[in-house]
Chains A and B, each alone.
Chain A
């Protein structure tokens, strides 16, 4: 098994589980077969991205997924939905050219800029935020990039980019990722807190989590990488299914303050004993090894998750039946990963 595929394996498993849960939780008015077909296509694309033997093929797989996703019927037209993923493809191809041609050292640094910018454009992070149409179905919305395909694509891109860039350019890439991460973390939490639409608040909360993940990727220590992986797993099999579970309550404008809502808020905030907590501890430990002021900024930023998560937890309403079961499974799985993260990390580092 290629090591790059192994790195993405926990994310692929989490994505497959999230897809299964989404199919089970989906309300009757949504065709489960269509959801399974679309999600299955996305999952196949993610396997192709993770298993691609080179960054060139990865980019082509990304282009295929982008075109297929943009061609799904939705409120926004084909061209506008294709824009940001294509920007990502163009930036990464240009980065590959810069990294491979002979010339001044500056070209390697430009390649690092291209990789960081392409990654942000692919996922939909600042400064390339994808336009969200709140009325769109999740399968055709930018949530697919930020919560389902993005984690695998970003991990695979960064794993491959390491072998492509020089040592100095790799260090620059790490610094850029930390910078992008901090900006997205602050922007995401503040925007999620202040946004009028709860659907937009959910979308911004994905950005905030991604900020932490980028900081983890940017830290060139094992703890940082492990933290990034755990955060991405908690996005794919935590935030994403909880967002799906809240869609009906969001449409009906319901909110509730029951114990289940507080539990969900705890999962979203990364409280102990859930997966987000283990990730935050690893991230702070990694940041302390690199630079303690960075750890201080991260710790202060993490406090911003609390009001956001309480707000988002309420938007879940009162889940019943299949949705309550799904939410219970997500909470339990996040608790298990938070308490025993080692098997997941071992799987990724094989």
Chain B
């Protein structure tokens, strides 16, 4: 049950990132996705990894909350395609995790697929640096959690690297294109 709720939080968080354009919306989305991903790591018995994911994601969310386009701006006009993307992406990930694949870790598969797919779609479809960087942070954390699907123990290195990327990406001064 906890794993299912954690996976749902992961999808919900990244969906908010896809749907929001303001710094508050992006920060909340990042915090929710981080909570879901950390809970998956925790639920699978790796408390330290969960704390690292939580630390990196929380730091990134705080940094996003402090800088970026103002307000929440969740689902601005014209965001119907994004909403459809979130729902369709979630359904495809659910179908893959629950029906195509077998074995334990179904929640991890769903969370990883939905977060990686939707954050990738956000990065490719957006021109606004703050939303792109927020999606990069989520993508890094999901890529680290994906290591749990492997046969051996991944150790803590991927989590530490992902947490540093998540927080570091938000600290990076992003410049816009030079004027001609």
Contacts and interface: CB of A to CB of B under 8 A. Distances in A.
Contact of B177 (A53, A59, A63, A75): A75
- Chain A contact-residue range equals 35 or more
B117 interface: yes
A79 B127 contact: yes
Contacts of A75: 177-178, 180
B101 A107 contact: yes
Given A71-B174, A86-B136, A94-B116, A59 B143 contact: yes
Interface residues of chain B: helix, strand, loop or mixed (majority): helix
A205 B128 CA distance: 33
B145 to A, nearest CB: 10
Q: Binding site of A, secondary structure by majority: helix, strand, loop or mixed?
A: helix
Contact of A94 (B102, B117, B129, B180): B117
Contact of B127 (A61, A63, A77): A77
A145 B129 CA distance: 21
A324 interface: no
A77 B176 contact: yes
A16 interface: no
A169 to B, nearest CB: 16
A271 B102 CA distance: 53
| Interface size, B (range) | 35 or more
Nearest to A60: B161
A71 B161 contact: no
Given A78-B174, A102-B103, A56 B127 contact: no
A132 to B, nearest CB: 14
B100 A107 contact: yes
A82 B130 CA distance: 13
B69 to A, nearest CB: 14
Contacts of A82: 123, 132, 136
Contact of A63 (B143, B178, B180): B143
Interface in A81-107: 82-83, 86-87, 89-90, 93-94, 96-97, 100-104, 107
Interface of B: 100-103, 105, 109, 112-113, 116-117, 119-120, 123-124, 126-129, 132-133, 136, 139-140, 142-144, 146-147, 149-151, 154, 157-158, 161-162, 165, 168-169, 172-178, 180
Interface of A: 53-54, 56-57, 59-61, 63-64, 67-68, 71-80, 82-83, 86-87, 89-90, 93-94, 96-97, 100-104, 107
Given A77-B176, A96-B149, 15 more contacts: A59-B143, A63-B140, A67-B165, A71-B175, A72-B175, A73-B175, A78-B129, A78-B176, A80-B127, A82-B123, A83-B124, A96-B146, A97-B109, A100-B149, A101-B101
26 contacts: A54-B147, A56-B144, A56-B147, A57-B157, A60-B158, A60-B162, A60-B165, A61-B161, A63-B136, A63-B139, A67-B169, A74-B177, A74-B178, A77-B127, A78-B174, A86-B120, A86-B139, A87-B124, A90-B116, A90-B117, A94-B116, A97-B146, A100-B149, A100-B151, A101-B103, A107-B101
